[in-house]
């Protein structure tokens, strides 16, 4: 068991490193660099940046050096916990990301919880009443989240919120509480703003979970012990819930790892539309501006989040289900 | 019936299982229907999807009257549009005196059916010598006055074919790498597995954003199209590879495989003649499920401004053009392209589920 | 042409004719809707005799004075207040102005609304005349070779230290002339290529000296040029800078070693970066400023707040120290749809930047609910232009056509401007050529509005046939003269701008099919656009020519003026222009004539300058180096949404980047009723 955990942790570290290289490389792919982007912005507002100034800026930002040098420079900072300076924001990357990263986590977790709340009953019903009209209806509801383009849905909900409820447009806080220190009021404000993003995101991940739940439960329901339980006279509800569902939940738990990157990605789009102060909009702007430390750090941190999620769920799974341990070796 | 089960072939069993899943059946029909649109987009469209005209900007869908004086003779009213100087909205009033009859199999703009056969007939159209095919707007028009229905037809073609190419690529990659992984095991397996894990851990959107931002902007629409499909499928193959690998691992120890080897079949023969057909059904199911993901990805990329762009027409492009406040508030019909997206994705999902259920005919 | 296109033509002609009457009528009335008001604005009272003698201040400042933390208001303002007569009435103190911004790159947002503006001279509300602003007076000496700037006695920086001529000398000697901070001299400080100097006359008087007469100098001080206040500080320009504060970051006053350490501690790679950061009006709350409000929380945070400057030199005619409004709070809007929706919902008190003209109907619909009013402020310039790159040489045939005037003219005649105006400007623009509005002093005459700028497909086809492009292929597109197939040209556009360049270019692509031209539309990212124009890879490009109504302070889109441009008419000619013939290539005769007239205008008296300006626009309109499509529209920051409880709001503002709109309407006089 320990050997397994050890191996997985090692692998996780390696994966994180690979992500850092990949993300840095991808950010450098577009032609030009932060300075060309900066010059472009200046030009659009009518200001001139001459060639000499541009060169000066490049030297000052350290952009003149080859990529691997910049990457190593970044890595040296990262291991010290300092993620470099954002060129666009002219502040340390950590400060710019600040609240946003963990707000992304909050939204993702809220969405995940919502996904389970929806998927579990649907999956169970679907397995127990396979091929019935109820099954079709339930799976329809489960799948609808996958099918509806979530950016359009988000915009429609945003507009409807304003028209019908005079709701404050987008964001996760009302403006007054945006920068305030944490308090019960601020937490409640956040909770009030969460439902719409969590709903849009949660619906998207539901389909996958419904499938898994359904398949696992179907497997379990064929097993002899269920037949035994029924013949012994247990009520149908108890028959289903007491053992099969619990068994079916095991692999369910293991999929947290893979649902997480999906939800985090999805949250980027929803955040963009709803104007949420999470990592998504920040990342998009950073990629376009080629603000490499900021973009690289965000991708890295997102990757780390998902790797940790996967790691935890894999370990959880192995701990619960001894059969898998054998399969892995 | 019971006796036939024992002598039925694998495919027949699959079909019988599949038939039980009513919704999957319906979905199959729906999917086939959509792909006929792909083939017949030119025929089904009745207007030039790029023809703009400011005087018909943001026209709402026209009401079709089916009966004219008791007879089945569909028509629409001619429409007059002006911009209201107070609200700045374009206002359209049907002119009751002008009736524009709808003709079926009408003459319209010329096109090449299946890219080869020249033709001029469209499913519907109007006559009026010169006004041909321009005076009916079933789903209204967009901000430039372009007919939404026709644009939707052409958009369907591109969106559904992107899915196909992408899925084929994923399939090839997935079967190949998954097979290698499962069959040979050992180091190959570990390497491929780890690569898959790394790829799956990267949040996809940033990866797309980065890759798409890196794409040279001077590429033509077509080149961008193919690059997009490649990007999307580069991530989609992991799921297929997992399934294939799982199957290979399970099957390696099966009696029939061992006996094939013992009899003297080469590795290649064992794999392709004996092993692959037995999990073909799983592959088909997994592939069918991968397709809607491609379609959704294309719309997401277009939303981010990183996928297909005008003048190309796809569901993603159409939705991106509808992604603004004025559409939601004033011209909501422009959001209609979301409907085929929803329908197709649902249909493919039900179909895939049905196929997967049926793929294991000896199971439940 | 195939039957398909002739049918299309018929339809469009029919459609156009039937709509023409309606459109024509509307085009007339749109200009007269209640949304476009009468141009008006507050005036600066220049007569020192009429200045108020006693001053009042905001209650919170009065409290600080009582607590001994702030000197009395009269001492803070000095002997020569800048008196502004509010547009409608004397206002009340108090209130927070809520607005939105889009991120650290949106610094113009704050400069436009809240900097005062802090130019030495500034435009009056018509945008036409330069009047004294921070400078008490400007005197021409030595036939225009010297300009005496009188400062306001007792005027102070926002930290209470005096604003004197030392701040000019410091800027000139230690910033402008410092090669590390500023590698390139500015054209604003030069006349006919020769740099001028700044010298101190006494504490409150500064002289700008030049080697030749520089008649345009007052306009240069008034416009948004390099000598116009702290907005230019990020590129080390401005004309003046707070010497007492910045000296601690300058190597001449602090040792190199100590300065390097300071830089490293603040996480900057070099002292230059540190200096520029400290000198940034939007980034550094500690920077002393002269504007009406100063940054309290900087632009690189989610909320950019500006607070009143207690040493503000601006007062109203009753002696109240301006601004009336206490605070300006700009909240970050992650994307433009959210920003616009917030404006629609009435969450902003005043919004004009980033407001999308296409959403005008939604704004109007929600006026009552949001408790605001919508105004339109059309600009005087051309909202949409198409530039030809006359230096394009990657494809000699295309280069030849771009340099053929009749080719350009024919393409201009092939554009259906009414369609574009109706679709994208909702009919509020004026289709026409590049020349500025008729009332602009450099406008060559009303006939130039329509010159080569009407829809005349027949004539366009004739012209193209005549110059040698008569052969067409099977689809009806013209063939190249060199036999290498179809003539295909490319237009470069930017996405995400105030004007929908890409969609408009698509429309033009459809329109040019009727004259046989195959146009490819290429949307690119800003940085790529810059790269391509500088590398002479651009063929055509779509942009706007805002600022060009101030022809001499903003010539970027009249002729090729700078290399770093998202749309160019000729990078080789830019180099020729700036190097006085040393580098680059000599322009063709009429362009050369245009450039020389422009240079000459800076050194001649106003009457002659106006004639030169008219000549320049005349050449531009005749040669069609740049096609004008739709002008005098409100697309760029011309849709203004103002809450009903705000006072002293003009019904129409002069809309120009040079005028830092709404700065020209003195937001310091806005107040909450």
CB contact under 8 A, C530 and A47: no
The side-by-side arrangement of strands in the sheet containing C372-376 is C350-351, C639-643, C372-376
* pLDDT, tens only, A27-77: 776 666 777 767 766 665 555 566 666 776 777 666 767 778 878 888 887
Q: Considering CB atoms only, which of A144, A155, A264 is closest to B203? A: A264
Q: How far apart are CA A237 and CA B317, in angstroms?
A: 49
C169 touches chain A (CB under 8 A): no
Closest CA to B156 of B46, B311, B40, B62: B40
Range of the domain at A144: 103-289
Are the CB atoms for B149 and B334 separated by under 8 Å?
no
**In C, which residues are within 8 Å of B325 by CB distance?**
337, 340-341, 344, 359, 362
Q: How far apart are CA B235 and CA B203, in angstroms?
A: 11
CB contact under 8 A, A44 and C497: yes
pLDDT (0 to 100) of residue C566: 80
**In B, which residues are within 8 Å of A212 by CB distance?**
none
What value does the mean pLDDT of chain B take?
Answer: 79
Within a domain: A297: no
Q: Considering CB atoms only, which of B132, B213, B330 is closest to C361? A: B330
Q: How far apart are CA C526 and CA C495, in angstroms?
A: 8
pLDDT (0 to 100) of residue C295: 94
CB contact under 8 A, B88 and C16: no
**In B, which residues are within 8 Å of A272 by CB distance?**
304
Q: Please report the DSSP string for A208-236 in residue order.
A: HHHHHHHHHHHHHHTSHHHHHHHHTT--H
Q: Exposed, middle or buried: residue C395 (CB in 10 Å: 0-12, 13-18, 19+)? A: middle
**In B, which residues are within 8 Å of A298 by CB distance?**
206
A272 touches chain C (CB under 8 A): yes
Distance from CA of B90 to the nearest CA of C (A): 9
Give the domain ranges of chain C: 9-87+315-377+637-673, 117-290, 382-631
Closest CA to C191 of C177, C174, C208, C176: C208
For residue C11, give every residue at least 6 positions away whose Cβ sits within 8 Å of its Cβ, in sequence order, or none.
B53, B130, B131, B132, B134
CB contact under 8 A, B82 and C22: yes
* pLDDT, tens only, C286-308: 999 999 999 999 998 888 999 99
Q: How far apart are CA C354 and CA A242, in angstroms?
A: 59
Across chain B, where does the E strand assignment appear?
65-68, 71-83, 90-113, 117-126
Fold classification of C382-631 (topology level) = Dipeptide-binding Protein; domain 3 (3.10.105)
Are the CB atoms for A275 and A170 separated by under 8 Å?
yes
- Name which of C361, C520, C527 to mutate to probe chain B: the one with the most chain B Cβ atoms within 10 A of its Cβ: C361
A211 touches chain B (CB under 8 A): yes
Single pTM value for the model = 0.86
Distance from CA of A149 to the nearest CA of B (A): 7
For residue B92, give every residue at least 6 positions away whose Cβ sits within 8 Å of its Cβ, in sequence order, or none.
B59, B60, B79, B80, B81
C514 touches chain B (CB under 8 A): no
pLDDT (0 to 100) of residue A46: 52
Q: Please report the DSSP string for B277-331 in residue order.
A: HHHHHHHHHHHHHHHHHHHHHHHHHHHTT-S--TTS--HHHHHHHH-SHHHHHT-
Distance from CA of A184 to the nearest CA of B (A): 32
ipTM of the complex in this document: 0.83
pLDDT per 10-residue tile (average), chain C, 673 residues: 52 45 41 77 89 92 94 92 94 94 86 89 91 93 93 94 95 92 84 90 94 91 88 85 94 90 84 90 93 93 92 94 94 88 92 91 93 93 92 92 94 94 91 90 92 94 92 90 89 84 91 93 77 86 86 84 82 84 87 91 90 93 93 89 95 89 93 94
Distance from CA of A55 to the nearest CA of B (A): 23
Distance from CA of A269 to the nearest CA of C (A): 12
* pLDDT, tens only, B101-136: 788 887 777 777 777 778 777 887 776 544 434 578
A283 touches chain B (CB under 8 A): yes
Q: Considering CB atoms only, which of C183, C334, C494 is closest to A52? A: C183
pLDDT (0 to 100) of residue B361: 52
User: Which residues 312-351 in chain C show a CB within 8 A of chain A?
Assistant: 329, 331-335, 337-338, 341-342, 344-345, 347
Pairing of strands C96-101, C327-332: parallel
Q: Considering CB atoms only, which of C108, C345, C527 is closest to A32? A: C527
User: Which residues 56-95 in chain A show a CB within 8 A of chain B?
Assistant: none
* pLDDT, tens only, C359-385: 999 999 999 999 999 999 998 888 899
A89 touches chain C (CB under 8 A): yes
- In the three-class reduction of DSSP (H, G, I as helix; E, B as strand; rest coil), residue A50 is classed as coil
CB contact under 8 A, C105 and A41: yes
Is the pLDDT confidence value at B275 over 80?
A: no
Are the CB atoms for C117 and C661 separated by under 8 Å?
no
Distance from CA of A176 to the nearest CA of B (A): 25
Within a domain: A60: no
C491 touches chain B (CB under 8 A): no
pLDDT (0 to 100) of residue B364: 44
User: Which residues 442-461 in chain C show a CB within 8 A of chain B?
Assistant: none
Residues facing residue B37 across a β-bridge: none
Within a domain: A184: yes
In CATH, what class is C117-290?
alpha beta
CB contact under 8 A, B323 and A152: yes
CB contact under 8 A, A169 and C345: yes
Q: How far apart are CA C363 and CA C341, in angstroms?
A: 9
CB contact under 8 A, B53 and C418: no
In this prediction, residue A324 has a pLDDT band, given cuts at 50, 70 and 90, of low
What value does the mean pLDDT of chain C take?
Answer: 88
A290 touches chain C (CB under 8 A): yes
**In B, which residues are within 8 Å of A8 by CB distance?**
none
Are the CB atoms for C367 and B354 separated by under 8 Å?
no
Chains interfacing with C (3 or more CB pairs < 8 Å): A, B
Structurally, chain A folds into a number of domains equal to: 1
The residue of chain B with its CA nearest to that of C343 is B325
The residue of chain C with its CA nearest to that of A96 is C301
Other beta carbons within 10 angstroms of residue A181's beta carbon come to 6
Mean pLDDT of B59-68: 84
CB contact under 8 A, B213 and A152: no
């Amino acid at each position: 068991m320990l050997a397994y955990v050890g191996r997985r942790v090692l692998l996780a570290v390696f994966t994180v490193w690979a992500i850092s290289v990949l993300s840095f490389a991808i950010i450098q792919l577009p032609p030009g660099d932060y300075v060309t982007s900066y010059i472009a912005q200046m030009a659009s507002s009518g200001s001139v940046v001459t060639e000499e100034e541009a060169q000066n800026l490049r030297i000052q930002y350290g952009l003149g050096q080859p990529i691997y040098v910049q990457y190593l420079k970044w890595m040296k900072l990262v291991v010290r916990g300092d993620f470099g300076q954002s060129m666009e924001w002219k502040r340390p990357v950590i400060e710019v990301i600040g609240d946003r990263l963990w707000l992304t986590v909050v939204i993702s977790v809220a969405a995940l919880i919502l996904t389970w709340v929806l998927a579990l009953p649907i999956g169970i019903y679907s397995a127990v009443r396979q091929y019935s009209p109820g099954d079709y209806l339930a799976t329809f509801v489960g799948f609808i989240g996958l099918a509806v383009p979530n950016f359009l849905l988000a915009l429609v909900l945003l507009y409807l919120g304003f028209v019908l409820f005079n709701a404050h447009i987008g964001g996760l806080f009302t403006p007054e509480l945006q920068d305030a220190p944490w308090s019960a009021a601020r937490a409640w404000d956040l909770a009030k703003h969460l439902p719409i993003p969590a709903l849009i995101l949660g619906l998207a991940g539901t389909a996958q979970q419904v499938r898994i739940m359904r398949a696992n439960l179907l497997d379990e329901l064929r097993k002899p012990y269920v037949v035994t339980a029924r013949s012994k006279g247990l009520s149908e509800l108890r028959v289903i819930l007491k053992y099969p569902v619990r068994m079916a939940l095991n692999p369910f738990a293991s999929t947290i790892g893979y649902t997480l990157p999906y939800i985090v990605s999805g949250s980027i789009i929803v955040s963009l539309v709803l104007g949420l102060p999470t990592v998504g909009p920040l990342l998009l702007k950073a990629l376009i501006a080629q603000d490499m430390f900021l973009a690289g750090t965000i991708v890295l941190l997102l990757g780390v989040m998902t790797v940790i999620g996967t790691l935890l769920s894999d370990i959880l799974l192995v701990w619960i289900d001894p059969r898998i341990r054998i399969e892995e070796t | 019936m019971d006796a036939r089960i024992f002598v039925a072939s694998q495919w027949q069993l699959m079909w019988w299982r599949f038939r039980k899943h009513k919704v999957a059946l319906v979905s199959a029909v729906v999917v086939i229907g959509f792909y006929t649109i792909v083939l017949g987009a030119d025929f089904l469209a009745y207007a030039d999807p790029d023809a703009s005209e400011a005087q018909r900007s943001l026209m709402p869908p026209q009401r079709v009257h089916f009966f004219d004086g008791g007879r089945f003779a569909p028509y629409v009213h001619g429409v007059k549009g002006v911009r209201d100087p107070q609200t700045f909205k374009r206002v359209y009033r049907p002119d009751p005196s002008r009736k524009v009859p709808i003709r079926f199999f009408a003459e319209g703009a010329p096109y090449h059916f299946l890219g080869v056969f020249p033709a001029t007939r469209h499913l519907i159209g109007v006559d009026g010598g010169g006004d041909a095919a321009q005076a009916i707007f079933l789903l209204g028009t967009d901000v430039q006055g372009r007919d939404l229905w026709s644009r939707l037809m052409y958009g369907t073609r591109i969106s559904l074919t992107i899915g196909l190419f992408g899925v084929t690529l994923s399939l090839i990659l997935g079967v190949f790498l998954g097979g290698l992984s499962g069959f040979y095991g050992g180091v190959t397996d570990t390497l491929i597995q780890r690569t898959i894990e790394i790829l799956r851990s990267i949040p996809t959107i940033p990866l797309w954003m980065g890759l798409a931002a890196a794409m040279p902007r001077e590429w033509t629409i077509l080149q961008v199209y193919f690059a997009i499909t490649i990007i999307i499928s580069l991530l989609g193959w992991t799921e297929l590879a997992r399934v294939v690998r799982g199957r290979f691992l399970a099957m390696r120890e099966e009696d029939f495989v061992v006996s094939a080897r013992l009899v003297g079949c080469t590795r290649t023969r064992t794999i392709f003649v004996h092993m692959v057909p037995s999990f073909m059904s799983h592959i088909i199911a997994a592939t069918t499920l991968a397709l809607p993901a491609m379609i959704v990805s294309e719309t997401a990329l277009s939303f981010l401004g990183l996928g297909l762009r005008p003048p190309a027409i796809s569901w993603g492009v159409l939705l991106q053009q509808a992604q603004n406040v004025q559409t939601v508030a004033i011209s909501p019909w422009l959001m209609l392209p979301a409907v085929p997206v929803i329908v197709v994705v649902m249909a493919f999902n039900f179909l895939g589920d049905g196929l997967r259920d049926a793929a294991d005919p000896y199971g439940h | 042409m195939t039957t398909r296109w002739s049918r299309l033509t018929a339809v469009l002609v029919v459609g156009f004719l039937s709509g023409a009457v309606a459109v024509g009528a509307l085009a007339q009335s749109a200009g007269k809707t209640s949304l476009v008001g009468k141009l008006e604005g507050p005036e600066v009272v220049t007569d020192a005799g009429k200045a108020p003698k006693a001053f009042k201040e905001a209650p919170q400042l009065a409290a600080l004075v009582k607590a001994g933390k702030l000197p009395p208001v009269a001492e803070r303002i000095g002997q020569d207040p800048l008196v502004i007569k509010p547009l409608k009435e004397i206002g009340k103190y108090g209130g927070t102005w809520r607005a939105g911004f889009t991120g650290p790159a949106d610094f113009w947002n704050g400069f436009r609304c809240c900097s005062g503006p802090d130019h030495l001279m500034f435009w009056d509300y018509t945008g036409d005349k330069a009047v004294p602003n921070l400078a008490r007076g400007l005197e021409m000496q030595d036939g225009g070779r010297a300009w005496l700037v009188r400062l306001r006695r007792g005027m102070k920086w926002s930290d209470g230290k005096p604003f004197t001529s030392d701040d000019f000398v410091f800027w000139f000697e230690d910033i402008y002339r410092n090669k590390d901070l500023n590698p390139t001299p500015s054209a604003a400080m030069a006349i006919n290529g020769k740099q001028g100097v700044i010298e101190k006359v006494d504490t409150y008087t500064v002289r700008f000296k030049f080697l030749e007469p520089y008649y345009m100098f007052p306009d240069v001080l008034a416009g948004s040029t390099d000598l116009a206040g702290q907005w230019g500080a990020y590129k080390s320009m401005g004309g003046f800078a707070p010497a007492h504060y910045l000296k601690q970051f300058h190597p001449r006053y602090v040792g190199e070693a100590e300065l390097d350490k300071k830089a490293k501690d603040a996480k900057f790679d070099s002292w230059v970066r540190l200096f520029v950061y400290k000198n940034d009006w939007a980034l550094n709350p500690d920077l002393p400023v002269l504007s009406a409000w100063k940054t309290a929380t900087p632009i690189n945070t989610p909320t950019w707040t500006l607070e009143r400057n207690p040493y503000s030199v601006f007062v109203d005619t009753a002696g109240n120290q301006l601004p009336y409004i206490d605070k300006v709070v700009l909240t970050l809007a992650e994307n433009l749809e959210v920003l616009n929706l917030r404006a629609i919902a009435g969450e902003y008190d005043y919004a004009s930047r980033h407001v999308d003209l296409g959403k005008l109907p939604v704004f109007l619909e929600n006026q009552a609910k949001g408790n605001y009013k919508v105004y339109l402020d059309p600009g005087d310039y051309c909202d949409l232009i198409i530039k030809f790159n006359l230096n394009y040489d990657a494809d000699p045939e295309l280069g030849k056509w771009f340099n053929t005037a009749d080719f350009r003219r024919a393409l201009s005649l092939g554009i259906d401007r009414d369609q574009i105006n109706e679709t994208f400007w909702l009919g509020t623009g004026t289709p026409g050529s590049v020349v500025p509005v008729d009332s602009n002093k450099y406008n060559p005459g009303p006939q130039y509005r329509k010159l080569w700028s009407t829809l005349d497909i027949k004539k366009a086809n004739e012209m193209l046939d005549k110059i040698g492009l008569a052969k067409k292929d099977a689809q009806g597109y013209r063939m190249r003269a060199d036999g290498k197939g179809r003539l295909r040209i490319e237009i470069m556009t930017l996405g995400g701008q105030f004007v929908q360049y890409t969609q408009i270019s698509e429309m033009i692509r459809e329109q040019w099919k009727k004259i046989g031209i195959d146009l490819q539309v290429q949307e690119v990212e800003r940085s790529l656009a810059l790269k391509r124009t500088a590398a002479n890879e651009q063929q055509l490009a779509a942009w706007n020519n805002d600022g060009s109504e101030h022809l001499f302070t903003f010539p970027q889109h009249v002729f090729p003026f700078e290399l770093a441009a998202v749309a160019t008419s000729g990078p080789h000619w830019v180099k020729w222009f700036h190097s006085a013939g040393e580098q680059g290539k000599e322009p063709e005769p009429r362009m050369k004539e245009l450039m020389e007239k422009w240079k000459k205008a800076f050194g001649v008296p106003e009457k002659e300058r106006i004639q030169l300006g008219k000549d320049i626009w005349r050449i531009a309109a005749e040669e069609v180096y740049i096609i004008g499509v739709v002008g005098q529209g409100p697309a760029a920051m011309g849709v203004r949404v103002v809450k009903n409880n705000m006072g002293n709001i003009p019904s129409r503002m002069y809309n120009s980047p040079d005028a830092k709109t709404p700065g020209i309407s003195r937001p310091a006089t806005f107040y909450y009723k």
